[in-house]
Structure 1
Amino acid sequence: MAEITAAAVKELRERTGAGMMDCKKALAENQGEMEASVDWLRAKGLAAAAKKAGRTAAEGLVGVAVEGTKGAVVEVNSETDFVAKNEQFQDFVRTVSKLALTTGDDVAALNDTAFPAGGTVAEALTNNIATIGENQSLRRAALLEVGQGAVVSYVHNAVAPGLGKIGVLVALESAASGDAVQALGKQLAMHIAAANPLALDAASLDPALVERERGIAMEKAKESGKAPAIVEKMVEGGLAKFRKDNALLSQLFVIDGKTPVADVVAAAGKDAGADIALKGFVRFQLGEGIEKKESDFAAEVAAAAGTNKAEPVA
């Protein structure tokens, strides 16, 4: 049997986009012959992944997993929403979200983690691309953990347990009973899904984002024609509203529309007989921040048919 070197496996992976284990198997099956191994992978449908790697993947699923006092959320993208209904894809996202309970937000470490069915997470993803027929990517992951209390999850637009379009984790530190913390956590998670806060409190807002809002408020205030001192007060008033509207603790609770979230948490702790501290949250919305390429379906069909433009159907 021919010796299979790491360099040969690397070259075959670069040429085909197939997973490492598939490349090793291909080389073993073909006595180390590179071209024969490429053909073997193509025949098995495992070399197709490379051709799909350039496509925009902005659909897919967000997955959440909770274990004890920690929770993880991941986003795995695909090209079309149809893939989100694929059981193989759903199983992959579900498994990866559980693995993220160990690796946290380190996507590189998560990709290198052993996948239960064999190989690594990255190799399992490559296999998915080849077998499902669409480009996919493990985009991001996050982990929340508390010493005492609970991390509570919520999935909006769920397609299966723990899988959907928006995934939220809420970290609550408390010695209160589990039921009380879980109930509050679920309500807060639903609020976060709906209200999309940008930070836990005003002090945690991104300074660059605040300065951007300051610039916008300044331009609007100057248009009023008022004196500089008045303009400055208008700007500061606008920024105060921005901070209040976008920091979770100062947002008005969506369930009653009038109580600040900080007061909701305090009241829940009083009712439970123990302080409850909202330590953090994570909200992943599928595809946020990904620039989706607009496509002309008729033009794509025409291109596939080898014509310059789509002809009308008689």
Structure 2
Amino acid sequence: MQITSGMVKELREKTAAGLMDCKAALTAMGGDMEAAIDHLRTKGLAAAAKKSSRIASEGVVCAHVEGDSGALVEVNCETDFVARTDNFIGLAKEVAALVNAKAPRDVDEALTLPAGGESLGEKLVATVAKIGEKISFRRFARLETPAGAPGMIVPYIHAGGKIGVLVAISGADRSNAAVAGLAKDLAMQVAAAYPTYIGRSDVPGPVIEREKGIYREQAKASGKPDKILDKIADGKLEKFFGDFCLVEQAFIKDPDRKVSQLLADAGKAAGAPITVSAFARFQVGEGMEKRSDDLAAEVAKQLGQG
């Protein structure tokens, strides 16, 4: 039976075992998923298999920057208690350093990378057995400065690793202390104001049209005449840009100035344009199901008494 990548992925999700281990188990068991799970358990991966269905929505975001590149990773566990331990934080930092050094295409490839005599996936499984909680490497972002051009990658970690940011700046390197300071402020800006795009030119056309359509319908429903609907929609679109585009946002340390003004002033002082070429922002557990720690309420709900 042919072992597909989808089968390997499904087995990894069920057991948290390494990709190569999953492929080998499926091959040995002729593609039988349940038999492959048992096969992995007999090889000492039972702890990971038992915990694979648990919710791992706590954890940390870590960054690693070296040279002209940086990586931001989110590594998850089940409880905030484990997330705050030195061992778990050390593991997340190791993951960030490995991703930055090896530049994998995705998480699946990252899990196959060598990490001290074993693959990263195997290391995570071994850690599951050691700490007694499900652990997952959820996602990463890796940024680089353009080759041969001045630039810098600046990290910012907030709230003990609950929010992490990387910002890539073009036009000056770290030897320019003023620009490096601005880059750190912009990383804090991304953490606090949560922009989606760098500038308005980065907003996809369909998104703009959808927003304008919503604003037109809102204005029409409020009784505004048709001849001014487009003008109203354009005005609200400016607010959208101000909320979701980094360079259009009011600077958190001086709301009377936009980020674009800060970049322009920095460019004049540096004698070259200073721009944000990319950014990434992760918040632990965003978009994930959260575990319920209120056991009494959960039991009551199950019994139909809540």
Q: Shared fold (TM-score greater than 0.5)? A: yes
| Aligned residue runs from structure 1 range 8-157, under 5 A | 18=17, 38=41, 41=44, 46-101=45-100, 102-104=102-104, 106-115=106-115, 117-146=116-145, 147=147, 148-157=150-159
> What's 1:245 paired with?
243
Which is greater in Rg? 1
Q: Which residue is 1:185 aligned to?
A: 183
Deviation string 1:27-85 (CA, Å, 9 cap, x unpaired) is xxxxxxx98995673xxxx4121121112222101010000121110111122212211
Q: Distance in 1 between matches of 2:273 and 2:201?
A: 22
Matches within 5 A, 1:191-202: 191-202=189-200
Match for 2:171 among 174, 180, 194?
174
Report what 1:214 is aligned to: 212
Quick one: structure 1 residues 48 and 302, their matched pair in 2 at CA, closer, same or farther if it must change by over 3 Å? farther
What is the rounded CA distance, in whole Å, between the counterparts of 2:76 and 2:207 in structure 1? Answer: 26
How big is each residue's C-alpha offset from its partner over 1:156-193, in whole Å with a ceiling of 9 and x where there is no partner? 112xxxxx011111111224633233211111111111
Q: Structure 2 vs 1, CA of residues 36 and 203 (structure 1 numbering), >3 Å: closer, same or farther?
A: closer
Whether 1:257 and 2:255 are equivalent positions in the alignment is yes
Q: Give a deviation string over 1:214-254, Cα, whole Å, max 9, x none.
A: 34323321221122222232222212220232111111111
Q: CA RMSD in A?
A: 3.2
Contact 1:103 1:109 in 2 (8 A): no
Partners in 2 of 1:35 and 1:165 — Cα distance?
A: 36
Shift of 1:91: 1.4
What percentage of residue pairs aligned between the two structures are identical?
44
Structure 1 runs not aligned, ≥5 long: 1-9, 25-33, 159-163
Which residue of 2 is the match for residue 271 of structure 1?
A: 269
Gap change, CA 1:174 and 1:18, over 3 Å in 2: closer
CA contact (8 A) 2:165 2:187 kept: yes
> Partners of 2:172 and 2:62 in 1: how far apart?
28
1:104, 1:143 within 8 Å by CA — same for their partners in 2? no
CA distance in 2, matches of 1:168, 1:241: 24
| CA displacement 1:62-118 (0-9 Å, x = unmatched) | 010000121110111122212211222111100010111122552122111111x33
TM-score by length of 1: 0.77
Equivalent residues of 1:74, 1:141 under 8 A apart: yes
Give 5+ residue unaligned stretches, structure 2.
1-7, 25-36
Indicate the residue corresponding to 2:31 in structure 1: none
